[in-house]
């Protein structure tokens, strides 16, 4: 009986993840984020972010760190992931986030590449799980 309950609960969790098959307009979410939140971070802290992908309950964010931002990569990843999740209702039921960081404060030439629409390499890749218990 205990095994049945455990497998039933795990199948319930698995089927609740199937709700993520919703098609999202990433460009629209990015536009909304730019107007409502990103301008504050760009002007105040020199930090910008944009949504690049969403699949299977995991969304991906690309972050560019500028000169005024003083936090480390781990803190930045956590703050930005929760900011996106809590700000946009479309991402509210996400189980995790991948953060790709480009650090233009340590490597100033990367800012010039970004202005010319050339993608520089990422300086860090971080992952955030929003709830405990997804991994054993």
Tens of pLDDT, residue by residue over 35-44, are: 999 999 999 9
What confidence score (pLDDT) does residue 134 get? 61
- pLDDT tens profile 9-44: 333 444 454 444 456 789 999 999 999 999 999 999
Structural contact between residues 123 and 77, judged by C-beta atoms closer than 8 angstroms: no
Element (H, E) at 58: strand 58-65
Q: Which residues are registered as beta bridge partners of 102?
A: 64
Assess whether pLDDT exceeds 90 at residue 125. Answer: yes
Strands 124-129 and 96-103: antiparallel
Residues in CB range of 123: below 8 A, 6 or more apart: 73, 101, 102, 103, 106, 107
pTM given for the model: 0.77
Q: Exposed, middle or buried: residue 84 (CB in 10 Å: 0-12, 13-18, 19+)?
A: buried
| Residue 87, φ and ψ in degrees, nearest 5 | -85, -35
């Amino acid at each position: 009986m205990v095994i049945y309950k455990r497998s039933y609960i795990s199948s319930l969790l698995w089927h609740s993840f199937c709700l993520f098959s919703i098609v999202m307009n990433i460009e629209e979410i990015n536009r909304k984020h730019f107007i409502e939140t990103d301008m504050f971070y760009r002007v105040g802290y020199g930090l910008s972010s944009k949504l690049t992908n969403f699949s299977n309950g995991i969304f991906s964010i690309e972050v560019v760190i500028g000169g005024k931002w003083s936090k480390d990569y781990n803190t930045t990843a956590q703050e930005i992931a929760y900011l996106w999740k809590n700000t946009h209702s479309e991402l509210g039921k996400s189980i995790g986030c991948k953060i790709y960081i480009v650090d233009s404060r340590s490597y100033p030439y990367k800012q010039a590449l970004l202005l010319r629409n050339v993608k520089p390499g990422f300086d860090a890749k971080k992952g955030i799980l929003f709830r405990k218990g997804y991994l054993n």
